[in-house]
Chain A
């Protein structure tokens, strides 16, 4: 049960630049964000490092779910990293994770790798230590607080 992280892969039939745009252009993102049948009545995406993002999804039965976070790294067209937490009805954010999406050029389009976990894996943490040490300081402080 190394199962507190999620890894998904997809081959998307468009070049990385196009796929990256679909993730980082708010008007395009809302055309696909979320499972089939939902629409996005509200969204606010400040797509820059440190910028906040928030989307509200509406299910076919009218039920709404909001998820929000902050962009940690935006490296077009290779990599997009952001934090992620569902909000409850009172707007309180639940468990926060980090979503790390990589866009690799592949024959036929883009090989998309999505990794979601409590932290980034060590390899990427080390490699990007300098660029966003402040984000990790925040994460480390949060962890220290939780662990007492």
Chain B
């Protein structure tokens, strides 16, 4: 549960969210490729990557001269699990709300 809070806090920032979305879409990328379309300094990109890494959303490795970044599927799985749990709660509750509303209306009397 604590992990999820850190994960979602890291994703709340638009640049970081964009980086993760791109990694999900495109797979592993170099730091340079990630930074290229962004209008921010290299240290700023590094700072965002560090926060994402600390949250467990990405992992980095070095292959020859390349610094590579990829998303950690476990972190995405954590978000999906939470969403599914919430969805189950609300779908079930709203079904019952519909039934409760149907009972309530005739009881209150329609004019």
Q: Which residue of A lies closest to B99 (CB)?
A: A32
**Once the chains are docked, how many angstroms separate the CA of A12 from the CA of B83?**
23
Binding site for A on B (CB under 8 A): 1-2, 4-6, 8-12, 20-21, 24, 51, 76, 79-80, 82-83, 86-102, 104-105, 108
CB nearest to A142 among chain B residues: B9
Q: Is the interface of B mostly helix, strand, loop or mixed?
A: helix
Q: Among B2, B10, B90, B105, which residue has its beta carbon within 8 angstroms of that of A6?
A: B90
| Subset of 30 A-B contacts with CB under 8 Å | A1-B20, A1-B79, A2-B21, A3-B80, A4-B11, A10-B97, A12-B101, A14-B104, A18-B101, A18-B105, A19-B97, A19-B101, A21-B104, A22-B101, A22-B104, A28-B104, A32-B99, A32-B100, A34-B96, A35-B92, A36-B92, A36-B95, A95-B2, A97-B86, A116-B90, A119-B12, A146-B5, A146-B6, A146-B9, A147-B9
Which residue of A is nearest B71, CB measured?
A1
Contact residues in B for A14 (Cβ distance below 8 Å): 101-102, 104-105
CB distance from B110 to the nearest CB of A (A): 10
Interface pair B91/A8, CB less than 8 Å apart = yes
- A95 adjacent to B5 (CB under 8 Å): yes
Q: Known: A2-B21, A18-B101, A33-B93. Is A88-B8 also a contact (CB below 8 A)? A: no
Residue A124 is within 8 A (CB to CB) of chain B in the complex: no
A residues lining the B interface (CB < 8 Å)? 1-4, 6, 8, 10, 12-14, 18-19, 21-22, 28, 31-36, 86, 88, 94-97, 109-110, 112, 114, 116, 118-119, 143, 146-147
The reply to whether A95 and B8 contact each other, CB–CB distance below 8 Å, is yes
**Distance (Å) between the CB of A121 and the closest chain B CB?**
12
CB nearest to A143 among chain B residues: B9
Taking CB atoms, residues of chain B closer than 8 Å to A28 are 100, 104
Please give 18 more A-B residue pairs, beta carbons under 8 A apart, in addition to A34-B92, A36-B92, A114-B94: A1-B20, A1-B24, A1-B79, A6-B86, A12-B97, A13-B101, A13-B102, A14-B101, A14-B105, A19-B97, A32-B96, A32-B97, A36-B96, A96-B5, A112-B94, A118-B11, A146-B5, A147-B51
Q: How far is the CB of A38 from chain B (nearest CB, A)?
A: 8
Chain A residue, CB-CB nearest to B108: A18
**Is B93 a contact of A3 with CB atoms below 8 Å?**
no
Point out the residues of chain B lying under 8 angstroms from A147, CB to CB: 9-10, 51
**How many angstroms between the C-alpha atoms of A138 and B53 in the bound complex?**
26
